[in-house]
Amino acid sequence: DIQLTQSPSFLSASVGDRVTITCRASQGISSYLAWYQQKPGKAPKLLIYAASTLQSGVPSRFSGSGSGTEFTLTISSLQPEDFATYYCQQLNSYPTWTFGQGTKVEIK
Amino acid sequence: EVQLVESGGGLVQPGGSLRLSCAASGFTFSSYDMHWVRQATGKGLEWVSAIGTAGDTYYPGSVKGRFTISRENAKNSLYLQMNSLRAGDTAVYYCARFRFAFDIWGQGTMVTVSS
């Protein structure tokens, strides 16, 4: 099974900061990676798929990059509504897809 | 409006059974692969099952043989039959539509396995 490891697990940042979250796969997954945002008590929301394609309606301050085993999610200027937990998901091993353990972004 | 609404969660004793439902609206349900994902309180996301448009089904080892995913396209509905439930199955269960990734999610339904 493909394992995903996110880092950091927790980060504290201020409004306006540039934030980067990394997701590493235990084996190559090409660009078959998605990123989700989840706020407390809510369902996850798709932000990015195919490693770098922004889902419709998602603000352009979110971007994704990477391929193979290393991927990043970047928030260019953190906004108050961005404080949440972020998950990566590999979509390479159809259809048994796994998630990373999550990265919680909190207010500094 | 594209929407998924889960129902059927509740409290069940260990070893018991429960059937979850997911009602889809606003899109052509039969054209999409559908999934169930769960999340224990304070924990991460765990993929639970998938069903393709042709009715092919898939499960991780943790639920294989105990859970059964099914769909009824005429009713725009997805189901998850859960048998031999364990305390470790306690979680919020979400249904999700697959389009490049899980692009639409329901609000979730809570399943608690406890005596």
The answer to whether the Cβ–Cβ distance between B105 and A45 falls below 8 Å is yes
Count of A–B CB contacts within 8 Å? 53
For residues B81 and B17, is the Cβ–Cβ distance under 8 A? yes
pLDDT band at A93 (very low <50, low <70, confident <90, very high): confident
Residue A16: Cβ within 10 Å count? 9
The answer to whether the Cβ–Cβ distance between A44 and B45 falls below 8 Å is yes
Name residue, tokens 């769960």: B38
Q: How far apart are CA A15 and CA A81, in angstroms?
A: 10
Q: What's the pLDDT at A8?
A: 97
On average, the pLDDT of chain B sits at: 97
Q: What's the pLDDT at A94?
A: 75
Chain A residue with minimum CA distance to B62: A96
- Does A95 score more than 80 pLDDT? no
Single-letter amino acid, residue A33:
L
Residues of chain B contacting A62 with CB distance shorter than 8 Å: none
Q: How far apart are CA B112 and CA B115, in angstroms?
A: 10
- Does B6 score more than 90 pLDDT? yes
The answer to whether the Cβ–Cβ distance between A99 and B102 falls below 8 Å is no
Q: pLDDT for B45-67, tens place per residue?
A: 999 999 999 999 999 999 999 99
pLDDT band at A1 (very low <50, low <70, confident <90, very high): confident
